Structure 1
């Protein structure tokens, strides 16, 4: 109410343009960011984990889970962070609670990072937000691999160790017993390579002991070299008990042997060789569910047997499991192991996880999507926000920071063009103002003077300066001298003086009057050229500004799409900043052209008015000359005789 009263008060009434300008600034002014977790960090970005229909489409329960965050030049400013990524911090949606994380890979030179973040309670069918903070060169490294995973996670191998046994990053320290060759370019950084002969042996740790009908979750990313019958991915046996996970000509299977009785669950479409896929299973009680790429592939009605022995990746732990007991029920016989012998798996593997609980289906699906090639469905990155500077937290800072070098070159050229166009506007408007003021004073006194133009011409005075009866002051005389009408008048007066320089009868023939008109017409052309001086610069700004801006935009869009293609991350958050920055060039071009267009039209109208005024004055001046210096009738007759 007080604001309305203020705006309605006569002394404080705002004009419509001012109110529109204030509204425009209010809309574009960067909105203040929400509470900053720590002021020592200068940059942050929101990461949205979308498990809803618009994202990963996960409706089953998820719970606490590690989430893989892939950073690259399209979504992260490596130059603003520490070289080793030690200033990375992840904070929950409340912007208060730090989250545990650890770095699997960080390469600021290549612009690539793989970071695992422990999210405590991920909701299905919703958008879950976390914050990434960076930009603090003094921050100590604060990675916590053990805290990234819950206590139920028994083993996690990233396979990022070269020529050494795979390290377990969980708190259980289940380090592999031997090393296998590494494989570059795996699904997540570096992986491991199995040749079908050498297996990766897991430790005989008490934490990995499996109780009868106990709970277990197992997952592994695999890429087959070629289709193999009965290829073993994981094997653990102890006497007449055993557990095997493998691929039979590309079809995933899980096989349980309990007391010599073997049951197999297999299903899902055969996976293709040379492509990455996640194989996982969750066992609880008398049921084992097999998953391929996060989707349920088969269900086996069997519980895990008791196993305390050593497990292996890539090869059967012992000879092939015995055939199904002849006395087994028909239902079990249908699931009996095939007669083909087991063989070692040949191909690449990556990201091996074991947990001592049966993870829900949503947890497994989130891992398959979030770690695989479809991660863009799950994770989206917002623009960077800053906690300092005029553009902090707003859109302009993000846009300007994303402008490429070619864009700045175009914007610089447009800036030069804008300076020139504004100079022309100011110069022409000020000149026309002086012209109008001088013309007005001159015409007033010219028309108020006697019809005898001789008094105006002061033919006996060589100063070419009308005195108007001494009525003009110094300032007015200066304004009159700047008037085109005065200069036309002075040119005509000079012509008349030249004709009467010898004294005698002061009369002009029609031919002489036409000659004076020709002089005035030439003066009119010169004055018109003076009025239109530099106007061509405005036409160049009007026509060339938008095209130059469009050139910058097109080049910027090309560079943006090339960068996206190189990084391989196709999502709107990677594309949007580059496209927005590319459009800055077009905005700059329009910013040059639009004021120039308005000014050109305004100046053209004013120049046309002055030109019309000069044309009218020439006609009026010639008429008064003809009246004042008309030849008498007698001399005309004598000339005719």
Structure 2
């Protein structure tokens, strides 16, 4: 029996437990849930062949990859942890709406490798967690301006970087359906004026990167500006001419322009970027190089304009038309961003991103977490009382099975040792009884029920000696000896069955006690619903599932007790059958050995 119990215990220890592997690397026990997010730069994913390093990635959450259950209403409990499972990553929430089931979050990916995969974790489910969203920490120090255009209609754009380069003027109308959340609508009359800031200045021959998403209502028929930075007779212009994007640099002598290789399409989002550095300017369309210009940037200070042109002087004419359409995610950098990063921007911000994959949500294992945690938290007091009683019954039944299993094993092993010695006696039937038997032999056979029967039978035989010490066994004496041995056999059976009634109580009473707890729990659940007047599945399900926990506990008590009881009953029957056979054998051999004495006694 002890091997049976050990086997059950081993199975419980080795049984798979949901979330156990993740539990070992759980970042913080205060967070109840997490979601794996895979950054895939391999050919099957984003297909990025050059290392990108640090960059902001757009995490899109929607009902297809996130259920918004268990998360704070404003997303304040969101935390992103790196691939090492320990390092928190900075992020900025641009939009988080659990009612609509949408969220856009900018994540600071500290190291995006080429041709590889890494898994980061999004943790949530801590109602006490403070807000951690921080745009200044998410975008690196080389970003001098980041406009998400997520302000209310009529407000100038605000900068998400640490430089705080909020627009000096330019009240825009907000439009839904941007690349990430809302977008800004330019109507051809409003131009956003950037502040005069040293962080936005361009040094002579310096580096610069601009990237943004635009959506044209119609292709403009006149040259249109998206970005303009002028000082005196020098300028950096980015716009659209003849349907194609262009970048123009004027160092004060004569303007130099590079035009895109293909015209843009109206009515769809297009990513435009220019990267300037080391005397080269590259124009990108949707992450791919579209034009190159061998020119260095002139020194430019003062304010720049977005969505139109600003004249160099108050009286100078404006030679370009203002932008008409939508714009989203405008970024300026004081360095030339690498081509791999610009391509990755398009991949992560596009509607169908293969760069980012979302895994299944995981619940922290252990007491109080996951589905089982919901059940435990909903258990009523009366059910806990029933479960406590069942737990006591379970402990008692396991102790009985352990003790009875050890006892029957000791008896069985001792009986085998006794029968081995008994078979060696030959005609000396009483050779193992009396004072001549060594204490070592008696100690070896002490636990044998057959040996106890044998001693009782031998004592009855020795009691039938006459005055001369001879054994006188009559037929009536044989039956008397059998009767004494049978009474001993009954007491041995009682010893084998001692405490077995506790197992029968657990088998029959455990399920009924569990059912009692379930019925009372269901009654209380319906009474609470009636009192609250709230009839819905979310109000009923936790109480019903918690009430059923009592029935599960009752079955958990009864099923092991049933297996143990049947196992012990079979072992006990085998020991009882051996004792019955031994009594018959002993009495028969005794009658055979003393038949002559019996006859002489009768004749006398």
Instruction: Tell me what 2:241 maps to.
Output: 248
Q: Distance in 2 between matches of 1:118 and 1:29?
A: 30
2:230/2:312 contact within 8 Å kept: no
- The correspondence of residues 422-571 of structure 1 with structure 2, limited to 5 A, is none
Q: Specify which of 87, 107, 114 is matched with residue 117 of structure 1.
A: 107
Q: Specify which of 326, 339, 345 is matched with residue 367 of structure 1.
A: 345
Instruction: Tell me what 2:191 maps to.
Output: 199
Q: Distance in 1 between matches of 2:258 and 2:78?
A: 43
Q: Specify which of 293, 297, 302 is matched with residue 300 of structure 1.
A: 293
Instruction: Tell me what 1:82 maps to.
Output: 72
Distance 1:97 1:28, change over 3 A: closer
1:213/1:305 contact within 8 Å kept: yes
Instruction: Tell me what 1:174 maps to.
Output: 165
1:155/1:354 contact within 8 Å kept: yes
2:226/2:306 contact within 8 Å kept: yes
Distance 1:371 1:29, change over 3 A: closer
2:18/2:365 contact within 8 Å kept: no
1:252/1:267 contact within 8 Å kept: yes
Q: Specify which of 102, 116, 124 is matched with residue 126 of structure 1.
A: 116
Distance 1:104 1:198, change over 3 A: same
Instruction: Tell me what 1:380 maps to.
Output: 357
Q: Specify which of 311, 324, 346 is matched with residue 346 of structure 1.
A: 324
Instruction: Tell me what 2:335 maps to.
Output: 357
CA deviations on 1:426-470 (whole Å, 9 max, x unpaired) are: xxxxxxxxxxxxxxxxxxxxxxxxxxxxxxxxxxxxxxxxxxxxx
**Alpha-carbon deviation of 1:352?**
0.4
Unmatched segments (≥5 aa) in structure 1: 1-9, 321-339, 398-641
Q: Distance in 2 between matches of 1:362 and 1:116?
A: 18
CA deviations on 1:35-63 (whole Å, 9 max, x unpaired) are: 11100000001111111111111112311
Q: Distance in 2 between matches of 1:134 and 1:77?
A: 12
1:47/1:380 contact within 8 Å kept: yes
What TM-score do you get using the length of structure 2 for normalisation? Answer: 0.57
Matched residue count = 364
Q: Distance in 1 between matches of 2:364 and 2:2?
A: 39
2:38/2:120 contact within 8 Å kept: yes
SS of 1:317's equivalent? coil
Q: Specify which of 203, 208, 215 is matched with residue 216 of structure 1.
A: 208
Instruction: Tell me what 2:139 maps to.
Output: 149
Q: Distance in 1 between matches of 2:43 and 2:188?
A: 41
SS of 2:259's equivalent? strand
**Alpha-carbon deviation of 1:297?**
0.8
**Alpha-carbon deviation of 1:188?**
1.2
SS of 2:189's equivalent? coil
**Alpha-carbon deviation of 1:254?**
0.7
**Alpha-carbon deviation of 1:267?**
2.0
What TM-score do you get using the length of structure 1 for normalisation? Answer: 0.53
Distance 1:354 1:38, change over 3 A: same
Q: Distance in 1 between matches of 2:182 and 2:360?
A: 29
Q: Specify which of 259, 262, 274 is matched with residue 281 of structure 1.
A: 274
Q: Distance in 1 between matches of 2:4 and 2:151?
A: 72
Q: Distance in 2 between matches of 1:221 and 1:236?
A: 19
Instruction: Tell me what 1:568 maps to.
Output: none
Q: Distance in 1 between matches of 2:11 and 2:264?
A: 61
Q: Distance in 1 between matches of 2:368 and 2:164?
A: 47
Q: Distance in 2 between matches of 1:231 and 1:353?
A: 19
**Alpha-carbon deviation of 1:26?**
5.5
- 2:238 matched to 1:261? no
SS of 2:74's equivalent? coil
Instruction: Tell me what 2:156 maps to.
Output: 165
**Alpha-carbon deviation of 1:388?**
2.4
1:61/1:361 contact within 8 Å kept: no
Instruction: Tell me what 1:52 maps to.
Output: 42
**Alpha-carbon deviation of 1:236?**
1.0
Q: Distance in 1 between matches of 2:124 and 2:16?
A: 28
- The correspondence of residues 221-236 of structure 1 with structure 2, limited to 5 A, is 221-228=213-220, 229-236=222-229
Unmatched segments (≥5 aa) in structure 2: 373-604
Q: Distance in 2 between matches of 1:61 and 1:302?
A: 27
Distance 1:49 1:391, change over 3 A: farther
Q: Distance in 2 between matches of 1:365 and 1:30?
A: 36
Distance 1:341 1:201, change over 3 A: closer
Distance 1:28 1:142, change over 3 A: closer
SS of 2:136's equivalent? helix
2:20/2:365 contact within 8 Å kept: no
CA deviations on 1:452-505 (whole Å, 9 max, x unpaired) are: xxxxxxxxxxxxxxxxxxxxxxxxxxxxxxxxxxxxxxxxxxxxxxxxxxxxxx
- The correspondence of residues 566-605 of structure 1 with structure 2, limited to 5 A, is none
Distance 1:341 1:48, change over 3 A: same
Q: Distance in 2 between matches of 1:297 and 1:185?
A: 27
CA deviations on 1:281-333 (whole Å, 9 max, x unpaired) are: 1100210011111111111100111101211111122289xxxxxxxxxxxxx
Q: Distance in 1 between matches of 2:126 and 2:47?
A: 36
